[in-house]
Amino acid sequence: MITTQQNNLAQWSFTSGQTYADPFNDIILDIDITNQTGHTQRIPAYWAGGNTWSVRYASPQTGTYTYQSICSDTNNPDLHSQTGQIEITPYTGNHPLYKHGPLKVSDNKRHLQHHDDTPFFWYGDTWWMALCDRLTWPANFQTLTEDRKNKNFTVIQFVAGLYPDMSEFDTRGKNAVGFSWEPNFERINPAFFDQADQRVFHLLHQGLIPCVLGCWGYYLHWLGAEKMKQHWRYLIARWGALPVTWCLAGEGSMPYYLSKTKDEDRADLKTGWTDIARYVRETDPYHHPLTIHPSVSARDTVDDPSVLNYDMLQTGHGDRQSIPNTIKRITKAYTTEPTMPVFNSEVCYEGIGEACRQEVQRFMFWICMLNGACGHTYGANGIWQVNTKEKPFGPSPHGRSWGNTPWQDAMQLPGSAQLGICKAFLERYNWWQIEPHPEWVENHATTEKVFAPYAGGIGKTMRFVFLPSGVWNTTLTQLETDVSYHAFLFDPITGNTHDIGDVSPTPENTWKLPTTLPIFQDWVLVLEAQ
């Protein structure tokens, strides 16, 4: 009998007395797990190296489960038709990920939430190359994790070994035991993922959900569809029992940097990733939320948006010049059918191009959150590629480096802490109910006029108005006649508040901000219903 608690991992292994020449490619092992009501899940097992296959399983439901192994070699009694029981007992701890369970999409398709319906605020950080040996284990990885936990991050986005900005088997993609795949993509390297497990489990222990990107998009051409399905099956078998979320690929439809046939590659990748998305949905018994990291929008990176559960955006790295596109893309994503949770998963890495500093980070956060996003992903130049002082990442295939700032310095850039303060402030309220309301403020921002007020909130409950630096004269409109509001200013840099007082609307149901802002910077005007 295998025993574990709700949402906690149960793991066991099967060892074959028969030796196979190529066990990863020769053997497929699944486990059928049936609960007391007769419902069966098919759980893929992963090759652990040698003659051993391992199974990981978790469930949010208590009870006694039975299992039976299904092996492609039905004549191997060590792997085929092995049976047993799993006892899932009530969870008794206080860890939020195991207390509330894995993520799913809310009923209204506007945000993510845990299995027990607790809303989940996505505040992500971008560690694309977090599994490589430039970020050493345990010291460096745990240092960065602790910093991000203390700054209120909830998600870490990383790539499962097949990294961007390099060709296949570039030595910069190795960890302490090598690459994620053997040369020529012959078979997976279990030892690489044994090392990766240490990092993934540490993130979860610290309350950070891994957003696992299978690879960068152009690897689909190098592996081919069948190898890519093997790759994704392995990730599902290895990490599917954990509270993770899936991202098919980074910049899914972007051709390799030096491709001579980019238009053809782009169309082929879009179709290919749509097929892989269907495979992942069919193979993942836990139905984790699935998306794809885009060059623009996730739903535009596949042929059929219905294969995705949530929409990621990438809106530029051009400092303030990226603001109009950010407004355009977040507004379009929020209003496009089918409805999905949406957030900006890559915009203006802090410090990239000697720009995109903390005031731009705050600007992007607030305009996204007040235009329909259910969270936000931050990124720091130097962390995503894991520069070290001794070994910066160096040039991309196009010949240029994105910068040599060491990750230890990038970790201290002020934007990450300031966005964490803003997230904590919104969590004081029912943030998941916030909707865009540009009509609530005069002269509201547009893509042509970005340095203007942005408004959103919860009807008859809350109003938030983001005031970019220099925006002083602000008039709110359409105030409800049956609601009394109290107003204050929120400082998105420090988290301090400045009380204004009760709101007294005009007969036209408008109200003008009666005070000069304390400091020449951006502010958030807040109206709370009394």
Q: Under DSSP, is residue 368 helix (H, G, I), strand (E, B) or coil?
A: helix
- Residue 300: its pLDDT value, please? 97
Q: Which of 331, 289, 328, 296 is nearest to 312 (CA)?
A: 296
pTM score > 0.85 for this model? yes
- Residue 515: its pLDDT value, please? 81
Cα–Cα distance measured from residue 304 to residue 274, given in angstroms and rounded to the nearest whole number: 7
- Structure tokens given for 87: 């006892």
- Residue 517: its pLDDT value, please? 85
Cα–Cα distance measured from residue 460 to residue 25, given in angstroms and rounded to the nearest whole number: 60
Under DSSP, the state recorded for 79 is T
- Residue 41: its pLDDT value, please? 97
Cα–Cα distance measured from residue 394 to residue 381, given in angstroms and rounded to the nearest whole number: 13
Q: Please give, one letter per residue, the 3-state secondary structure of 164-213.
A: CCCCCCCHHHCECCECCECHHHCCECHHHHHHHHHHHHHHHHCCCEEEEE
List the chain pLDDT tens, one digit each, 530 residues: 999 999 999 999 999 999 999 999 999 999 999 999 999 999 999 999 999 999 999 999 999 999 999 999 999 999 999 999 999 999 999 999 999 999 999 999 999 999 999 999 999 999 999 999 999 999 999 999 999 999 999 999 999 999 999 999 999 999 999 999 999 999 999 999 999 999 999 999 999 999 999 999 999 999 999 999 999 999 999 999 999 999 999 999 999 999 999 999 999 999 999 999 999 999 999 999 999 999 999 999 999 999 999 999 999 999 999 999 999 999 999 999 999 999 999 999 999 999 999 999 999 999 999 999 999 999 999 999 999 999 999 999 999 999 999 999 999 999 999 999 999 999 999 999 999 999 999 999 999 999 999 999 999 999 999 999 999 899 999 999 999 999 999 999 999 999 999 999 999 999 999 988 889 999 999 999 99
Q: Give the burial class of 316: count Cβ atoms within 10 A of its Cβ; 0-12 exposed, 13-18 middle, 19 or more buried.
A: buried
Domain ranges of the chain: 2-93, 121-431, 437-529
- Residue 358: its pLDDT value, please? 98
Answer yes or no: CATH 3.20.20.80 is held by domain 121-431: yes
- Residue 516: its pLDDT value, please? 80
Q: Please give, one letter per residue, the 3-state secondary structure of 440-496.
A: HECCCCCCCCCCCCEEEEECCCEEEEEECCCCCCCEECCCCCCCCEEEEEECCCCCC
| Contact by Cβ (8 Å): 103, 118 | no
CATH superfamily of 437-529: Golgi alpha-mannosidase II (2.60.40.1180)
Examine domains 2-93 and 437-529 and report if their fold is the same. Answer: yes
CATH of domain 2-93: 2.60.40.10
